[in-house]
């Protein structure tokens, strides 16, 4: 085994922690506020490095990045979105379908860059350390790469929108992705006029944010009451303004 | 539609950006360096809020958090790990199996807290905005919650290890999770004696980090050469020490 060096800067200052929380709480799924300004290569390079340093099962790094700037390709993806969007609208009941049709759900054409992050399930061979019991672990790794990219983009002032209303097959066809490679996320990326304070679906009254304390169990599913853990729930309720520190 | 306020602090300073990158590049999958020191409730609360503010498809927030401190429950999970680990070892060829058996791959007992993050696929009803074309999107949302938690924990000085060598069924049984709720990640969390500079599997020679520039395509799969995009690749090669800024 090679020498394992330790990190020297193990601790984070309060300001560094605050910067991370600012990134996490100010990250938004951007659909309608894109500007056409180009993204400098040094910015894009940093964002991609952040993504590439996501955790991956068995260190397999199953991701690729297809950077889409071609208008022809974007139009193909947009056409696939329109088709999937129309099919989706018909799945909701009448009232929800009406609201659904008013929502702006993608910025494929307006954003200067789209990036498709994929998962190559065959990378590093058929047996992957850590994927032996749960075979979706490699897909999850590529999702971690998406979230790292999203946070890095926010800290660089870039908006990111994840377009999930697309059939995998149509996306594979538009980007010439082989059948065995799974497209995990199709992202629209660019500078923005503004970021909203809250998620757009929350502001639109589509769904409310669930109180965090309602999502916490102790030791067993649905065990939400425990004298040992009451202080944590009290702390969570006390902290309920924490995510809105930047309001 | 309710009023949509805009974020006031849209920009990040260089120091704030550096703090995010420090978090991303110093995050490690921790298996063997846990200390038994308890995690204060205010720290745990912040980490859980960061996780809860992950993106989710259709704002469905499909996650729950089962916080495990009971030794009896931990022993059940550890026993499920041992079984899955033994089965896994037999899947590798002889040389890899020998190495595999020497690796420390979990810290279930030593870490003061384990957290299972789940995905409730039925939350908010059968039709979920954004999950209509790709039905794994809700699982991916819970993975984003894992990655947010992991980064927040690192900035708080906490190590996190994702134990994926577990059968879903055994984990459901140990935590009394109903069949229809998917356990996405079983995480070991605690303060650590140190963080390694590089991922342990990289140091152990299990696999090397792939050069980022080899993972980038333009407009179409496997299109890695483009006169328009050569400057980005040059920038990426120039930045190749960037993730090791903290070495």
ipTM, interface predicted TM-score of the complex = 0.97
Nearest CA in chain B to A120: B215
The CATH superfamily holding the domain B25-208 is NADH Oxidase (3.40.109.10)
Tell whether the model's pLDDT for residue A96 goes beyond 80: yes
Instruction: Indicate yes or no: CB of A216 within 8 angstroms of CB of B152.
Output: no
Tell whether the model's pLDDT for residue A247 goes beyond 70: no
B227 in contact with chain A, both atoms CB, cutoff 8 A: no
Lowest mean per-residue pLDDT among A4-13, A52-61, B69-78, B92-101? A4-13
Measured torsion, CA atoms of residues A66, A69, A72, A75, in degrees rounded to the nearest 10: 80
Tell whether the model's pLDDT for residue B246 goes beyond 70: no
Q: Domain coordinates of chain B in residue numbers? A: 25-208, 210-240
Contact A168, B134 (CB under 8 A): yes
Of B17, B136, B201, the CB nearest to A139: B136
- Under the banding of pLDDT at 50, 70 and 90, the label for residue A244 is low
Of B19, B136, B222, the CB nearest to A19: B19
Which among B166, B168, B150 has a CA at the least distance from the CA of B158?
B150
Residue carrying the six token digits 């980022």: B212
Contact B12, A155 (CB under 8 A): yes
Q: Which pLDDT score, from 0 to 100, does residue B2 have? A: 53
Size of the A and B interface in Cβ pairs below 8 Å:
405
Residue ranges of A 134-163 with Cβ closer than 8 A to chain B: 134, 136-137, 139-140, 143-144, 146-148, 150-152, 154-157, 162
Contact A185, A65 (CB under 8 A): no
* Residues facing A67 on adjacent strands: A115, B218
Number of neighbouring beta carbons within 10 Å of residue B113:
17
Instruction: Indicate yes or no: CB of B69 within 8 angstroms of CB of A219.
Output: yes
Residues of chain B in contact with residue A154, where contact means CB-CB under 8 angstroms, are 12
Instruction: Indicate yes or no: CB of A132 within 8 angstroms of CB of B84.
Output: yes
Tell whether the model's pLDDT for residue A93 goes beyond 80: yes
Instruction: Indicate yes or no: CB of A152 within 8 angstroms of CB of B217.
Output: no
| pLDDT, tens digit, 9 for 90 and up, residues A145-160 | 999 999 999 999 999 9
Residue carrying the six token digits 């980038």: B216
| pLDDT, tens digit, 9 for 90 and up, residues B118-169 | 999 999 999 999 999 999 999 999 999 999 999 999 999 999 999 999 999 9
CA angle B176, B178, B181 (to 5 degrees): 120
CATH class name, domain A22-208: alpha beta
Find which of B132, B170, B206, B236 to mutate to test the A interface (most A CBs within 10 Å of its CB). Answer: B132
Tell whether the model's pLDDT for residue B40 goes beyond 80: yes
Which among A123, A111, A107, A145 has a CA at the least distance from the CA of A58?
A123
Helix axes B41-52, A14-26, angle to 10 degrees: 30
The three-state secondary structure class of A159 is: strand
Buried b vs exposed e over B219-240: b needs ≥16 C-beta within 10 Å? bbbeeeebeebeebbebbeebe
B201 in contact with chain A, both atoms CB, cutoff 8 A: yes
A126 DSSP assignment: S
CA distance A22 to B46: 12
The three-state secondary structure class of A162 is: strand
A244 or A94, greater pLDDT: A94
B54 in contact with chain A, both atoms CB, cutoff 8 A: yes
CA distance B145 to B158: 16
Q: Which pLDDT score, from 0 to 100, does residue A162 have? A: 98
Q: Of all residues in chain A, what percent carry a pLDDT higher than 70?
A: 97
A215 DSSP assignment: G
* Residues facing B154 on adjacent strands: none
Q: Which pLDDT score, from 0 to 100, does residue B242 have? A: 80
Find which of A20, A112, A128, A184 to mutate to test the B interface (most B CBs within 10 Å of its CB). Answer: A20
| Rounded mean pLDDT, B2-20 | 89
CA distances (Å), origin A58, targets A3, A27, A62, B105, B109: 19, 29, 10, 10, 22
Of A49, A185, A205, the CB nearest to B1: A205
CA distance B233 to B237: 6
Three-state SS sequence of chain B: CCCCCECCCCCCCHHHHHHHHHHHHHCCECCCCECCCCCCHHHHHHHHHHHHCCCCHHHCCCCCEEEECCHHHHHHHHHHHHHHHHHHHCCCCHHHHHHHHHCCCCCCCCCCEEEEEEEECCCCCCCCCCCCCCCCHHHHHHHHHHHHHHHHHHHCCEEEEEECCCCHHHHHHHHCCCCCEEEEEEEEEEEECCCECCCHHHHCCCCCCCCHHHHEEECCCCCCCCCCCHHHHHHHHHCCCHHHCCC
């Amino acid at each position: 085994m090679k020498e394992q060096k330790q990190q020297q800067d193990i601790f984070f200052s309060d300001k560094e922690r605050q910067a991370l929380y600012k990134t996490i709480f100010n990250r938004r799924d951007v659909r309608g506020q894109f500007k056409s300004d180009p993204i400098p290569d040094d910015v894009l390079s940093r964002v991609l490095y952040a993504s590439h340093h996501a955790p991956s099962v068995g260190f397999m790094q199953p991701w690729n990045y297809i950077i889409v700037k071609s208008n022809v390709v974007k139009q193909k993806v947009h056409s696939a979105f329109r088709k999937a969007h129309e099919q989706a609208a018909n799945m909701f009941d009448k009232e929800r379908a009406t609201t659904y049709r008013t929502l702006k759900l993608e910025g494929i054409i307006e954003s200067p860059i789209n990036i498709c992050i994929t998962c190559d399930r065959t990378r590093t061979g058929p047996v992957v350390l850590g994927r032996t019991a749960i075979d979706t672990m490699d897909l999850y790794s590529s999702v971690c790469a998406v979230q790292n990219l999203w946070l890095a983009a926010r800290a660089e002032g870039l908006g990111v929108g994840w377009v999930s209303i697309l059939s995998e097959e149509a996306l594979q066809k538009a980007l010439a992705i082989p059948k065995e490679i799974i497209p995990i996320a199709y992202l629209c990326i660019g500078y923005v006029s503004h970021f909203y304070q809250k998620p757009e679906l929350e502001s639109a009254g589509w769904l409310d944010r669930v109180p965090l304390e309602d999502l916490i169990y102790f030791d067993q599913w649905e065990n939400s009451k425990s004298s040992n853990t009451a202080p944590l729930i009290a702390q969570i309720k006390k902290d309920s303004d924490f995510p809105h520190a930047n309001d």
